[in-house]
Amino acid sequence: MSVPVVAFFNNKGGVGKTTLVYHVAWMMTELGLRTVAADLDPQGNLTAAFLDDERLEELWPENVQPLTIFGAVQPIKIGVGDIQTPLLEEINERLALVPGDMSLSQFEDDLSQVWPKCLDRDERAFRVMSAFWRVLQLAAQKHRADVVIIDLGPNLGAINRAALIASDSVVIPLGPDLFSLQGLRNLGPALRDWRIAWSERLERKPPTSIDLPGGQMTPLGYIVMQHSVRVARPVHAYDKWIARMPSTYRQFVLDIPAQFDESIRDDVNCLALLKHYRSLMPMAQEARKPIFFLKPADGAIGAHLYSVRDAYNDFRTLTLEILERANIKRR
Digit-coded pLDDT (tens) for 39-85: 999 999 999 999 999 998 888 877 667 779 999 999 999 988 899 99
Q: Flag whether 201 is in a domain.
A: yes
Name the average pLDDT for the chain: 91
User: CB count, 10 Å around CB of 103?
Assistant: 18
Q: What is the pTM of this model?
A: 0.93
Name the residue with higher pLDDT: 305 or 27: 27
SS3 218: strand
Q: Flag whether 330 is in a domain.
A: no
| CATH number, position 273 | 3.40.50.300
Q: Flag whether 100 is in a domain.
A: yes
Tens digit of each residue's pLDDT (9 = 90 or more) over 147-199: 999 999 999 999 999 999 999 999 999 988 888 888 899 999 999 999 999 99
The pLDDT of 232-241, averaged and rounded, is 68
Q: What is the pLDDT of residue 47?
A: 96
Quote helix, strand, coil % in the chain, to nearest 5.
Answer: 50, 15, 35
Say yes or no to pLDDT of 205 above 60.
yes
Q: Flag whether 155 is in a domain.
A: yes
pLDDT-based confidence at 218, cuts 50/70/90?
very high
For 163, how many CA atoms within 13 A lie in the half-sphere containing its CB?
29
What is the total count of domains within the chain? 1
Q: Flag whether 102 is in a domain.
A: yes
Q: What is the pLDDT of residue 231?
A: 47
pLDDT-based confidence at 229, cuts 50/70/90?
low
Q: What is the pLDDT of residue 329?
A: 87
Return d(Cα 310, Cα 171) in angstroms, integer: 22
pLDDT-based confidence at 237, cuts 50/70/90?
low
Return d(Cα 180, Cα 178) in angstroms, integer: 6
Q: Flag whether 331 is in a domain.
A: no
Q: What is the pLDDT of residue 220?
A: 98
% of the chain residues with pLDDT over 70: 95
Cβ burial of 184 (10 Å; 0-12, 13-18, 19+) is: buried
SS3 122: coil
SS3 258: coil
Q: What is the pLDDT of residue 258?
A: 79
Return d(Cα 19, Cα 151) in angstroms, integer: 10
Q: Domain range spanning residue 138?
A: 5-325
pLDDT-based confidence at 233, cuts 50/70/90?
low
Say yes or no to pLDDT of 214 above 90.
yes
Q: What is the pLDDT of residue 307?
A: 87
Tens digit of each residue's pLDDT (9 = 90 or more) over 240-298: 888 899 999 999 999 998 777 778 888 999 999 988 777 788 888 888 999 999 999 98
